[in-house]
Amino acid sequence: MDLTNRPRRLRTDGVRPLVSETDLRASDLVAPVFVDATADERVPIESMPGHERVPVAESVARVREIAEKGVEAVMVFGVPESKDSEGSRAWADDGVVQRAVSRITDRTDVYVITDVCMCEYTDHGHCGLLEDGAREDPRMTVDNDATLEALGRIAVSHADAGADMVAPSGMMDGMVAAVRAALDAAGHGNLPVMSYAAKYESAFYGPFRDAADGAPAFGDRRHYQMDPANAREATREVRLDVEQGADVLMVKPALPYLDVVAAVRREFDHPVAAYNVSGEYAMLHAAAEKGWLDLEAVAHESLLSIKRAGSDLILTYFAEDVAERL
Q: Is 214 in the site for ligand PBG (CB under 6 A)?
A: yes
Compute the distance between CA of residue 119 and CA of residue 153 in angstroms, rounded to an integer: 15
Q: Is 277 in the site for ligand PBG (CB under 6 A)?
A: yes
Compute the distance between CA of residue 315 and CA of residue 199 in angstroms, rounded to an integer: 13
Q: Is 164 in the site for ligand PBG (CB under 6 A)?
A: no
3-state secondary structure of 189: coil
User: Of residues 69, 83, 199, 307, which has the active-site annotation?
Assistant: 199
Q: Is 117 in the site for ligand PBG (CB under 6 A)?
A: yes
Q: Is 87 in the site for ligand PBG (CB under 6 A)?
A: no
Distances in Å between the Cα of 17 and the Cα atoms of 231, 284, 324 are 33, 27, 20
DSSP bridge pairs for 272: 249
Q: Is 257 in the site for ligand PBG (CB under 6 A)?
A: no
Cβ-based nearer residue to ligand PBG, 209 or 308: 209
How would you write 186-235 as a 3-class SS string? Answer: CCCCCCCEEEEEEEECCHHHHHHHHHHCCCCCCCCCCCCCECCCCCHHHH
DSSP state of 69: T
Compute the distance between CA of residue 8 and CA of residue 17 in angstroms, rounded to an integer: 14
Cβ-based nearer residue to ligand PBG, 55 or 168: 168
Cβ-based nearer residue to ligand PBG, 184 or 216: 216
Compute the distance between CA of residue 156 and CA of residue 174 in angstroms, rounded to an integer: 16
Give the interface segment with ligand PBG, choosing from 104-112, 114-122, 173-181, 187-195 (CB under 6 A): 114-122
Which of 98, 169, 195, 244 forms a contact with ligand PBG (CB under 6 A)? 169
Give the interface segment with ligand PBG, choosing from 152-160, 204-212, 236-244, 262-270 (CB under 6 A): 204-212
- 83 flagged as catalytic: no
Distances in Å between the Cα of 166 and the Cα atoms of 99, 116, 206 are 15, 7, 23
Q: Counting every residue, how long is the chain?
A: 326
Give the interface segment with ligand PBG, choosing from 20-28, 112-120, 136-144, 305-313 (CB under 6 A): 112-120
Which of 28, 36, 115, 320 forms a contact with ligand PBG (CB under 6 A)? 115
For ligand PBG, the nearest residue by Cβ is 208
- 252 flagged as catalytic: yes
Secondary structure tally for the chain: helices H, strands E = 11, 10
Cβ-based nearer residue to ligand PBG, 40 or 46: 46
User: Of residues 83, 252, 290, 307, which has the active-site annotation?
Assistant: 252
Q: Are 233 and 252 in contact (CB under 8 A)?
A: no
CA 81 to chain centroid, in Å, comes to 22
Beta-carbon contacts of 133 under 8 Å, excluding residues fewer than 6 positions away, are 140
The least CB distance from residue 273 to ligand PBG, in Å, is: 12
The least CB distance from residue 234 to ligand PBG, in Å, is: 16
DSSP state of 129: P
The least CB distance from residue 29 to ligand PBG, in Å, is: 14
Q: Is 213 in the site for ligand PBG (CB under 6 A)?
A: no
Q: Which residues are catalytic?
A: 199, 252
| Residues found near ligand PBG in the complex (CB under 6 A) | 115, 117, 119, 127, 169, 205, 208-209, 214, 277-278
